[in-house]
A and B are shown apart, each in its own frame.
Chain A
Amino acid sequence: EPEVTQTPSHQVTQMGQEVILRCVPISNHLYFYWYRQILGQKVEFLVSFYNNEISEKSEIFDDQFSVERPDGSNFTLKIRSTKLEDSAMYFCASTKQGTDTEAFFGQGTRLTVV
């Protein structure tokens, strides 16, 4: 069964460092998303990406964040200068056609900023 894969599963980084989280969405899906979940809190939307551009982003997704689809399969989230409060589980998701279709999530990357 097709699935969304994320790497790495866990990343520890020092405050101020850049991190890149990687995702391979389901191959015939057209919409891609990043969400995050701070420990004990709700899953929060960060950004959606369609047709090689950002279609929507949240207030959390400031200039420190960027997304890219560098090739036909990978979808990345970059945090330029990490802060302690960026520590969270980051989830990638994809859908075939945006709304009205099921969203599939990866297993997540646990980011710990020290």
Chain B
Amino acid sequence: QVQLQQSGPGLVKPSGTLSVTCTVSGGSISNYFWSWIRQPPGKGLEWIGYVYHSGRTSYSPSLKSRVTMSIETSRLQFSLKLTSVTAADTAVYYCARERDLNYMNGAFEIWGRGTMVTVSS
């Protein structure tokens, strides 16, 4: 079955750039919407944005000025970059796949295990 493997540093300095990558195994990266979602400690889930296999992206209005998502279909990978980070960006970051082909409505059926990223000097 499809699995998502996340990788990236667990510690980022304030004002730096957070980068996390998700590798898809056991299935295709094409024709799906791939999202990033985060959960700060003690808080709820927050959708960051998606990248489609074509490279099309959409970001949360509250984060769009600092977010870039990209996809490398040949490597079965997609990535998140978040710039100018502060302590408020400390969170568990998840990658996730939408349930249906070519359809985006927030039904995330497959998730990575999560990457805890701490913003601290």
Q: Do A and B come from one complex?
A: no
